Amino acid sequence: MRELIKANGGDWGGTSVDREYLDFIKCLIGDSVTQDLEQNAPHVFFDVCKEFEHAKRSITPECDIIFNVRIPIQLGEMYKKMHPKEDLRSKEVVVTKHKKRVKISFMVDKLRLTPEDAKDFFTESTDAITSHVKTLLQRSKMDITTIILVGGFAESQMLTQAVKSEFPEMRLIIPHEAASSVLRGAVIFGHDPSLIKERRSKYTYGIEVFDTFDSSTHDEKYKYKEDGALQCGDLFNKIIEIDEPVTVGEYQNEKSFIIHTIGKDGNLHLYSSLKQNPKYVDEKECCFIGSILSPGHDFLSNETINVMMRFGETEIEIKAYQPKSDKTMRYYLGQ
């Protein structure tokens, strides 16, 4: 198998639906009760989500009956404690974080909502997923005709209907027991990592370097003087580019560097970036990872060091080799 598009996306799974409901409950009880529960009885919110987890399975695109979900008794008790003259069950309207007024009612210990309001808990998540998939399909130059949904959220009819509506021309596959398909895939991969031959780099990786200052290309703020010469520091020297195809298990993109002094914090500072062509290591989307050559290393200064990367099954190896001293050092990153 070859990875054609690097793993990407956002926090839009089933837990994001739970989060929408939890935010709704917090709007119902108010800030003071919310803060008291978070500090003194956070397990109540766990119970809230647990009850919703069971109830939300009844929410479907065709559903036209009142949605009922049990409210833990401690929620009403804490509300009564903070508001002695009020009863939580007497509330008829909740103003959500989106400033929408939602009508509610209670029957004993159950909160009741219209089916349309219950479906709204899924809207933000399904909209984000379908929008992201649409963007990927538009950017891709491949003829993609099939979408496969896996994971627990794949069993939600709200998600499957949203995908079908947005991509009616696509074939939609939902594996049997989709909730455990990711786990089964991990087990299969563990037994035979060679199944994946090529990956895509999630980030751009590079080494911090300096160069002779050039006013036509370098920013003045990175200019400094050393031994009478103007230099530009904090430059990002790229080794691997984001989304670049990399063959699993093979060293690639060898580059040569020279260290002029042995740094007390090590040498060959490695950075990652979400940009395709970062220029400086302190740009917004750049992140310092670590020093390939650790403090106290015995590599020689003013001699060439060859740096190369190898993407393994579950980790990335950065190898530094100095021909003059015949020294080698390896730095590992989890993927």
* End-to-end CA separation in angstroms for the chain: 18
Cα 18 to Cα 121: distance, rounded to the nearest angstrom = 8
Question: Does residue 110 surpass a pLDDT of 90?
Answer: yes
Q: How many domains does the chain have?
A: 3
Whether 1 maps to a domain, the answer reads: no
Whether 4 maps to a domain, the answer reads: no
Q: Which residue has the higher pLDDT, 154 or 7?
A: 154
**Are 241 and 187 part of one and the same domain?**
no
Mean pLDDT in residue range 88-104:
94
Whether 269 maps to a domain, the answer reads: yes
**Are 160 and 210 part of one and the same domain?**
no
Q: How sure is the predictor about 189, in pLDDT bands with cuts at 50, 70 and 90?
A: confident
**Are 108 and 130 part of one and the same domain?**
no
**Are 230 and 306 part of one and the same domain?**
yes
**Residue 29 structural domain:** 14-119
**Are 23 and 88 part of one and the same domain?**
yes
Q: How sure is the predictor about 335, in pLDDT bands with cuts at 50, 70 and 90?
A: low
**Are 287 and 213 part of one and the same domain?**
yes
Report the pLDDT value the prediction gives residue 139, as an integer from 0 to 100. Answer: 85
Choosing from 177, 195, 213, the residue where a domain stops is: 195
Question: Does residue 333 surpass a pLDDT of 90?
Answer: no
pLDDT tens string 17-27: 999 999 999 99
Report the pLDDT value the prediction gives residue 103, as an integer from 0 to 100. Answer: 96
Choosing from 174, 195, 216, the residue where a domain stops is: 195
Whether 314 maps to a domain, the answer reads: yes
State residue 250 phi and psi, 5-degree precision: -115, 140
> What does each C-alpha distance from 110 to 66, 107, 199, 275, 292 come to in angstroms?
11, 5, 49, 49, 58
Choosing from 82, 97, 119, the residue where a domain stops is: 119
pTM of structure: 0.79
Mean pLDDT in residue range 175-196:
88
Whether 5 maps to a domain, the answer reads: no
- Assess contact for 241 and 247: CB atoms under 8 A: no
Mean pLDDT in residue range 77-90:
93
**Are 244 and 297 part of one and the same domain?**
yes
- Assess contact for 295 and 267: CB atoms under 8 A: no
Q: What percent of the chain has pLDDT over 70?
A: 99
Q: How many CA atoms lie within 13 Å of 181's alpha carbon, on the beta-carbon side? A: 15
**Are 312 and 214 part of one and the same domain?**
yes
Whether 9 maps to a domain, the answer reads: no
Whether 137 maps to a domain, the answer reads: yes
**Are 186 and 266 part of one and the same domain?**
no
**Are 28 and 105 part of one and the same domain?**
yes
Whether 3 maps to a domain, the answer reads: no
Q: How sure is the predictor about 7, in pLDDT bands with cuts at 50, 70 and 90?
A: confident
Q: What element of type H or E holds 329?
A: strand 327-334
**Are 86 and 65 part of one and the same domain?**
yes
Q: Which residue has the higher pLDDT, 7 or 39?
A: 39
Report the pLDDT value the prediction gives residue 193, as an integer from 0 to 100. Answer: 81
**Are 66 and 165 part of one and the same domain?**
no
Dihedral (CA of 35, 36, 41, 47) sign? negative
